[in-house]
């Protein structure tokens, strides 16, 4: 196997793991909200999104109908998503130059 391919597999694996974890923690937080239990801090959910778990966060919000109307949280999540898209566009643009 080419050594240039290996980092790509590691990156994909890491992103899959962070998105799965993000999705599961959103589900856990929803469960805890319903039961009145200890919640997952919003800062932790946003950190996971910032680390690459944004797709998992959006999927979980839709699936669990969780954190969909909490304005400050939603705004911060959208801002993270925009920054990540801009970073990807910049990175791809630099790679083609």
* Per-residue pLDDT at 45 exceeds 70: yes
Higher pLDDT, 38 or 70: 38
Q: Is the dihedral of CA 34, 40, 42, 48 positive or negative?
A: negative
Residue 28 domain flag: yes
For residues 73 and 49, give the distance between their C-alpha atoms in angstroms, rounded to a whole number. Answer: 12
| Residue 91 domain-assigned (yes or no) | yes
8 Å CB contact between 60 and 66: yes
Query: Percent of the chain, pLDDT > 90?
Result: 74
Task: Tell me the C-alpha distance between 56 and 63, whole Å.
Answer: 10
More confident position, 34 or 94: 34
71 within domain boundaries: yes
pLDDT > 90? residue 4: no
Other beta carbons within 10 angstroms of residue 63's beta carbon come to 12
Chain-centre distance for alpha carbon 65: 16
Q: Which domain holds residue 44?
A: 6-96
The 10s digit of each residue's pLDDT in 71-87 is 899 999 999 999 999 99
The reported pLDDT for the residue numbered 63 is: 96
Calculate the average pLDDT of the chain: 91
Angle at which helices 54-64 and 6-35 cross, to 10°: 30
In a domain, 77, yes or no: yes
Structural domains of the chain, count: 1
User: Could you report the per-residue pLDDT of 15-33, keeping only the tens digit for each?
Assistant: 999 999 999 999 999 999 9
Residue 45: inside a domain: yes
The label of the residue with tokens 């959103």 reads: 26
1 located within any domain:
no
Residue 10 has pLDDT above 80, yes or no: yes
In a domain, 68, yes or no: yes
Is 39 part of a structural domain of the chain? yes
């Amino acid at each position: 196997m080419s050594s240039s391919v290996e980092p790509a597999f590691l990156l994909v694996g890491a992103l899959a793991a962070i998105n799965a974890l993000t999705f599961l923690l959103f589900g856990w937080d929803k469960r805890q909200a319903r039961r009145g239990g200890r919640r997952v801090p919003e800062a932790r959910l946003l950190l996971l999104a910032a680390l690459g778990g944004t797709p998992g966060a959006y999927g979980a919000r839709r699936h669990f109908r969780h954190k969909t109307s909490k304005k400050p949280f939603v705004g911060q999540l959208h801002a993270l998503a925009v920054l990540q898209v801009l970073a990807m566009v910049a990175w791809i643009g630099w790679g083609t130059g």
